[in-house]
Structure 1
Amino acid sequence: MRKLREEDLHDYFEIMKKDEVGKWLGTSRGKTYEETKLLIDKFSKQWEEKGYGVWAVVDKKSGELLGHCGLNFLKETSEIEILYAFDPKFWNYGYATESARAALEYAFEKAKLDRIIALAKPLNIKSSNVIEKIGLKFVGIKEYFGLQLKYYEIFNNKINY
């Protein structure tokens, strides 16, 4: 895992433009080239301002971009969510779980955050499974981004893998 860079834009867009990926995100569709560029800019700015953010997840051997995972500050609520998105060709290999665990460890050990949330569309069973596998607890359904989403949370003193 490393920070997303401007030179990732083409490969990142190739992942994020897919409706199969986007249907599970807030937009419910694949992202445009401009939206993808703005996302990289947002994530870079958050790293500078907060000291945490979203990483590119890359294959150790080939360097191929698999997707993203990390910590996203929600301005609307001042909460920090763990999030991830991967190219569908890399689904079901454990990358989301492995990278989300690393992000959670970073959140609590390096960034010294007290609480992390996760959000998932109710029909996104795979994402809910990852969220629960890394230790977040289901709290209920809450509205975010105009959507009814499954809401999970974990506190720094309750991390168990």
Structure 2
Amino acid sequence: MERILTTARTYLREFKMTDAEAVLRFNGDSRVTKYTGDANMVKKLPDAEHIIANIWLAEYQQHGYGRWAVVDRFSHQVIGFCGFKYIADLAMPDFGYRFLPEYWGKGFGSETALACKYYGQKELGISRYFADAMADNVASIKIIKRLGLKFSGYIEEDKQTYIRFTQRTPTLLNTNQFYK
């Protein structure tokens, strides 16, 4: 599968069906999904396969982007996802990321998110997008702020309150310092 972009410690590519076990590991871990709106959606391998086939692969076809597999460059293991997901009701993409717990607190989220942000702006022409986070998800909010997104309000979804951050920026022309 072709690499979308490469960072110092990771590379991103489209998900493939053979990634289902990795998706089960990070989407099936309650520590990972604690602050998401989709906790308990992935309990078994067929659930992970369904997400890959019917959501992520479909998004690549429909929009030309989606959540990409984040692969550790040294172990070649899928360690999470990062990328954009188009939200039709808002007519703009949501930016999100998710990693296995053993990769938390080591800068993988910021490294990958910054690369994705600039790739989305430069290569995909995405200049307007948003990210949501629960108020007590301090680590995620730090990453969102590092990306330059600004507070835009609170939203209520499925009896949860999220903080919404938005980004509006001209498409950048020279961002090669973040990815190759």
Residue 99 of structure 2: aligned partner: 86
Share of identical aligned residues, percent? 24
Q: Are residues 1:45 and 2:58 paired?
A: yes
* Further displaced range: 143-152 or 56-65: 143-152
Shift of 1:15: 1.6
- Point out 4+ residue stretches in structure 1 off by more than 4 angstroms: 158-161
Structure 2 CA distance, aligned partners of 1:158 and 1:107?
9
Shift of 1:122: 1.1
* Further displaced range: 34-43 or 106-115: 34-43
- Given that residues 22 and 79 in structure 2 are in contact (C-alpha distance below 8 angstroms), is that contact kept between their aligned partners in structure 1? no
> Which residue, 70, 85, 88 being the options, matches 1:72?
85
Q: Are residues 1:25 and 2:24 paired?
A: no
Residue 16 of structure 2: aligned partner: 5
SS of the equivalent of 2:89 reads coil
Q: Are residues 1:35 and 2:52 paired?
A: no
SS of the equivalent of 1:100 reads helix
Shift of 1:131: 0.3
Q: TM-score, normalised by structure 1?
A: 0.91
Q: Deviations over 1:117-143 (max 9, x none)?
A: 000011101000000011111112112
Task: Report the count of equivalent residues.
Answer: 161
Q: How large is the Cα RMSD of the aligned pairs?
A: 2.1
Q: TM-score, normalised by structure 2?
A: 0.82
Consecutive unaligned residues in structure 2, runs of 5 or more: 1-11
Structure 1 CA distance, aligned partners of 2:140 and 2:132?
9
